[in-house]
Chain A
C-alpha cells in the first residue's frame, strides 16, 4: 500500500511561494470527501497523490491538514474531475479532539513471528 510522503516544500524562490504570500489572507483550504457520494473512482488519488491515497478497496484516505499553495491547482483539478462530485474544498478547521483509546501496552504487543 502506498504511503503518504511529505508535500513538496515551497521554497522562497519558487513562484508558488510568492503567490502563496499574496493569498496569505485567504483562509487555508482542505479537502473533504462526501463519503456517501464517493464511489471509489480513484481519480482524485491519481492527480493528488501527496494528499490522497487509495485503500485496498479503492476508496480515498485523505491526509489531514490544509493544502499548501503550490498544490491548489491540482486540488481544484481533482475536485473537478470527480465524476460524482464527492470531493470538495472547504475551509480548513482544526480537527476535533479524538477520543483517546488506551494504547496497546508493550508487553501485549502481538508477536507476529507465528509459532507453528
Chain B
C-alpha cells in the first residue's frame, strides 16, 4: 500500500517551508491555464472527475457549478470560501498561504465556467498570513482576474463560513446565516446566482482544468478517486497533509508519528463530525462516500487524536461549550437548546451533574436537529451523539458516581 502522502498534487511543488509559491514558479511548474473557451466548457470534465466539495458537505463540484451556470443569464458571482472557522482545520489557510496562485487559477476557471462577472475571495480575518499571500498573488496579476476580484475578510466566527452567512456578509456586513430557500445558487450576492466553493475544491478545479478528469481519478484508492487535505492534530507531527482519498486513519496516524496506542479516541471531520475509538477508526478509510455510508462524515478533513489521559467527557464538554457560544443567536432552539446541552455536559464533566442531566442531554439532542435556520445545531448534536456512544461509560460514571477513570485512576471528577 502506498504511503498516503505519496501522491501530492495540491501541495506539490516547492517544499512547504519555502512559503508562498511565486507566480513565475507556479507557471513554470504547471504551465498556463487552458484558453478561456476551454475553461468555459470545463463543467463536464469536473462532473466526470467525481471531485467532491471540501468545505464539509461533500457535494459534487461539477454539479454545483452546473446549477449556477444554468442561471448565468443575468450575471453570476463566484465566492471562494476561505473563512475556515473550524478551529481544528488549517488546510484552507495552508493552501492560500502556500499555493495562492493555484487558488486564484481555480477562481478564474470557476468564473469562466459559470459566467461570473465578479469574484469574491472570502478569507477569515484571523488568517492573516493567508490573506497577505492571496492579496500579494492577486497584486501580481494586476489586482484582478479577468473579472473584478476583491478580498473580503470573514469575521472570526464559526458560522461565518456557512454559505448563506458568507453571502449575507458580502451583501449586508452581517455574517449570520439566512433562511433558505433561496439558496445562494438561486439568489446570492447582489441578488445574483452565486457559486460558494471551498478553497480546496477551487484549487483542485485549477489542476483538473489543466490535466483532465482521468488524471484526477488516477490517484486515490479503488472506490475513492483523488487526493485530499487533512489536518492532523494531537500527534507528534501535527499539521496539514495531503493524502490519497481512501487512506486509513491508521496510515495517517503512523505518518504523523502516532502508534496504535496513541490515543483512546479520534475526532473525524471536525466539530461537525464525530468521535470514534481508535480501534474502530484504525482501518477506517478516509473517503467522503465511504464515511457517509458508515454514518460518519469526512467534513473538512480534520483528524484530531484525543490526547492520552484526557477525559473524553471533558473534551466533549469544551466542544459543546464552543458550539453553543458560536451560535448566531437567531433561532430559539439553537440558542437555548445548545446552551442547555453545553451546561449539562459541563456539569457532567465537572462532577456536579444532577441525576437526570444525562437523560436531559439525550432528550435535548433528539429535539434539536433541523430546528435552526442552518445546520449548526445539527452538527453539534451529531458530535454529541458520537461522544455518548464512544465515551458512554465515562458519561455514566461521571453522572452517577461522579468519578473519572481516565488515565487508569479512579478519582473524583473535577
Residues of A near any B CB (own CB < 8 A)? 33-40, 55, 57-59, 61, 98-105, 108-112, 114-116
Contact = CB atoms under 8 A, between A and B. Distances in A.
B359 A112 contact: yes
- The secondary-structure label for the interface of chain B is helix
Given A36-B330, A99-B295, A114-B355, 6 more contacts: A39-B332, A57-B333, A59-B333, A105-B392, A110-B395, A114-B400
B389 interface: yes
Contacts of B179: 34-37
A102 B389 contact: yes
Q: Is the interface of A mostly helix, strand, loop or mixed?
A: loop
B196 interface: no
A35 B327 CA distance: 13
Contacts of A58: 332
* B contact residues, range: 35 or more
B400 A59 contact: no
Contacts of A40: 332
Interface of B: 178-179, 274, 292, 294-297, 330-333, 336-337, 355-356, 358-359, 362, 367, 369, 371-373, 382, 385-386, 388-389, 392-393, 395-396, 399-401
B392 A100 contact: no
A37 B373 CA distance: 10
Given A57-B333, A59-B332, A112-B359, A104 B389 contact: yes
B292 A115 contact: no
B373 A99 contact: no
Nearest to A37: B179
Given A55-B333, A55-B367, A101-B385, A36 B395 contact: no
Contacts of A100: 295
9 contacts: A34-B373, A40-B332, A55-B367, A57-B333, A59-B336, A102-B294, A102-B389, A108-B393, A110-B399
